[in-house]
Amino acid sequence: MLLENFLPNRQVKSVLMIKPEELKKHGIKAIITDLDNTLVEWDRPSAPPKLIQWFQNMKKHDIKVTIVSNNNETRVKTFADPLGIPFLYKARKPRGRAFRQALDIMGVKKEETVVIGDQLLTDVLGGNRNGFYTILVVPVAQSDGFLTKFNRMIERQIMGWFRKKGYLTWED
């Protein structure tokens, strides 16, 4: 069924709820994460202390992280560089190229990697179509950029269907 491409393997309220110990138990060595409304609000330039701590905790447990964003270089670089985190911008998710590039950057296999994001149409669809374990997070902010607003309209329909079928358990 086509809609299953949009169904995440797991849903959490926040990226901060994802623990390195839990990932390691499942053989996960790397994270491909979206930036805007996944890690921080789309208009916040830098990471807050709790998120910096989350990144440090992942690093301490030898879990590599790469940010893969559809946003422009300036936006992603401004956020990622101070943290020393590799990134790909203008990724054109849900296409697979940036996901494969992220694997190369981290030197891991897709079976050892999770994709984390706040959007079904880019992060989850891209991750699922390319054979990754996907984790959907509740968007950090209520507001979105222009193109994302369009995606959210479609997502609400898909999520409504998933909720009716009992696939998704939290509210957005």
Domain containing residue 122: CATH number = 3.40.50.1000
pLDDT of residue 1: 56
Within 10 angstroms of residue 3's Cβ, the number of other Cβ atoms is 12
pLDDT of residue 170: 61
Note whether residue 172 is domain-resident. Answer: no
pLDDT of residue 146: 67
Structure tokens that stand for 59 in this block: 């690093």
Note whether residue 171 is domain-resident. Answer: no
Q: What is the pLDDT along the chain (172 residues), one digit of tens a residue?
A: 578 899 999 999 999 999 999 999 999 999 999 999 999 998 899 999 999 999 999 999 999 999 999 999 999 999 999 999 999 999 999 999 999 999 999 999 999 999 999 999 999 999 999 999 999 999 997 766 666 777 878 888 888 888 888 887 665 4
Q: Which domain holds residue 120?
A: 2-165
Alpha-carbon gap, residue 143 to 56, rounded angstroms? 28
Q: Is residue 113 classed exposed, middle or buried when 0-12, 13-18 and 19+ CB atoms within 10 A define those classes?
A: buried
Question: What's the number of domains the chain is made of?
Answer: 1
Spell out the residues 6+ positions from residue 104 whose beta carbon is closer than 8 angstroms to its own: none
pLDDT of residue 172: 43
Report residue 21: phi and psi, to 5°.
-60, -40
Chain center to CA of 43: 17
